[in-house]
Structure 1
Amino acid sequence: MSSFTHFYETWLIHLHHLLNQLHSSPRPPSTADHHHHLLHLLHRVMSHYAEYYRVKCLVAERDALSIFAAPWATSLERSLHWVAGWRPTTAFHLVYTESSIRFESHIAEILRGLSTGDLGDLSPTQFRRVSELQCETVKEENAITEGLSEWQNGASELIGECADIEEKIGRLVSVIKKADDLRLRTVQRVLELLTSHQAVEFLIAAAELQFGIRSWGENQDRLRDRSHGC
């Protein structure tokens, strides 16, 4: 598990570099080259997330219980976990929050009929599709949660003499894989509903939320360790 912790720390450093590139990208894209650059950058970011889930899947197959323990995460991050990671529907809350913030900051331009092209400028069709996707995702979340509950309800069988531990752990791995697949697929489908400009802003908000929670969690863990040391 220490090897995955090292992988995750290195992965976060790379994500930070990608975040800087997202921040410095041309928005809105004013030329075909700018548009191509944004699409290439979006692909790189999503490939980076896909790599994380690929490696995590391999680790889960070897040690599913440690994936739930998540020693690479802070206490705060673990308290927010849903099936060993972030809840997929968080993506929709992020879209709505960022859209509202940007709409309010550009309300003068919007009232004048000017298009900002950012997340504050989502069309009615985009809002409808995001809402439909959210409903679909909630159903899948609930099904996965039910699958985990069934696994947990059978916990007493794990200590039985005839218990097939490998088979039961295999079912847990399956639940983790389904959750991670939904996490990645949700982000991919949200991006498909956005323009390249809006997609970049969404990924910036997602990465900043991840880094913000981790930073605050590290702070809290340090304070707790100091108080225990005293």
Structure 2
Amino acid sequence: MSSSSSRNFHEFFTSWLERQQVYVDELVDASNDPNNPKEKLVEKVLLHYEEYYEEKYKVIASDDIFQLFAPPWLTTFEKAFLWIGGLFKPSLLLRMTEMAVSNMTPSQIDELKVIKAEVVRMEKKGTDGLAKVQESMAASPLTELAKNWRKLVNGEASDDFDEATVKLMESLGKLVVEADNLRRYAVAKLVEILNMEQMVVVLAAIGRYQLRIRGWGVVNDLSNPKRVGVQPNLGMTN
């Protein structure tokens, strides 16, 4: 990814988090008010997440997808939660639903168990896919070119290097899209299973969880300015 693309997404993500805080506050208020309309708020929050994925796909389509695996717009602490180019595994959302929603019916509990098992299986498939891409790198032209670095310096193997890099980016890009689609699938299934009041509770819980991790990460990074990835404008959230 060019420095311009990285900077643009960093700016987008900072403003996206600011809106996230506003939406979390609205979700918390709505969860405490039985007369507060829920459907439009849930729709607005889901569109907020869709906006994130749309901007993220611009990164995937750009010149360098590798930044998604060590995003400069995240704190060091947030990076510990990364799974295939995104924050959190989709199964985490389902586990948080189990903890946050105390009034699920037996039918909802059964449906959630089925979806959770399916999502966990798909997560394993994604993790295995990433491992295969990493293993393939050991047998790719990139490894041989690294051994013969003088050819790269002299420009003798630039075509081979470019071709191998493009193939690697395509493989990683496909994995990231599949992982994000699984995240979106998990949310879509929750919308089917839960009622609007329950969905508000879940969205508020996951939003607050993300913002707290962000806040902890900012404090930790600022307390250790020598830590790799620290940035002066990470932004602070509650």
Displacement of 1:184 after TM fit?
Answer: 1.8
Displacement of 1:79 after TM fit?
Answer: 1.1
Q: SS where residue 89 of structure 2 aligns?
A: coil
- Whose relative contact order is higher, 1 or 2, with alpha carbons under 8 Å and at least 6 apart? 2
**Residue 126 (structure 1) aligned with residue 127 (structure 2):** no
Which structure dedicates a bigger proportion of its chain to helix? 1
1:12 counterpart residue number: 17
Kindly provide the CA deviation profile for residues 115-151 of structure 1, in whole angstroms up to 9, marking residues without a partner as x: xxxx211111111000000001011111111111111
1:1-230 alignment runs, 5 A limit? 1-25=6-30, 29-30=34-35, 34=36, 37-62=37-62, 63-85=64-86, 86-98=88-100, 119-156=101-138, 157=140, 158-160=142-144, 162=160, 164-225=164-225
- Asked whether the 8 Å contact 2:31–2:200 carries over to 1, the reply is no
> 2: distance between equivalents of 1:22 and 1:141?
28
Displacement of 1:26 after TM fit?
Answer: 6.2
The root-mean-square deviation of aligned C-alpha atoms, in Å, is 1.9
> 2: distance between equivalents of 1:159 and 1:12?
39
- Asked whether the 8 Å contact 2:221–2:227 carries over to 1, the reply is no
Which amino acid in structure 2 is aligned with residue 148 of structure 1?
Answer: L
Kindly provide the CA deviation profile for residues 196-230 of structure 1, in whole angstroms up to 9, marking residues without a partner as x: 111000000000000011111111111112799xx
1:111 counterpart residue number: none
- What TM-score, normalized to structure 2? 0.80
Displacement of 1:54 after TM fit?
Answer: 1.2
Displacement of 1:164 after TM fit?
Answer: 2.7
The change in CA–CA distance for 1:26 and 1:153 in structure 2 (over 3 A counts) is: closer
Aligned length: 203
The change in CA–CA distance for 1:216 and 1:97 in structure 2 (over 3 A counts) is: same
Displacement of 1:188 after TM fit?
Answer: 2.1
Displacement of 1:159 after TM fit?
Answer: 3.4
Kindly provide the CA deviation profile for residues 1-53 of structure 1, in whole angstroms up to 9, marking residues without a partner as x: 011010000011111111122122265645xxx5xx31111011001101101
Q: Unaligned stretches of 5+ in structure 1?
A: 99-118
> 2: distance between equivalents of 1:81 and 1:94?
17
Q: Unaligned stretches of 5+ in structure 2?
A: 1-5, 146-159, 229-238
- What TM-score, normalized to structure 1? 0.83
Q: SS where residue 102 of structure 2 aligns?
A: helix
> 1: distance between equivalents of 2:227 and 2:67?
27
Q: SS where residue 73 of structure 1 aligns?
A: coil
The change in CA–CA distance for 1:173 and 1:153 in structure 2 (over 3 A counts) is: same
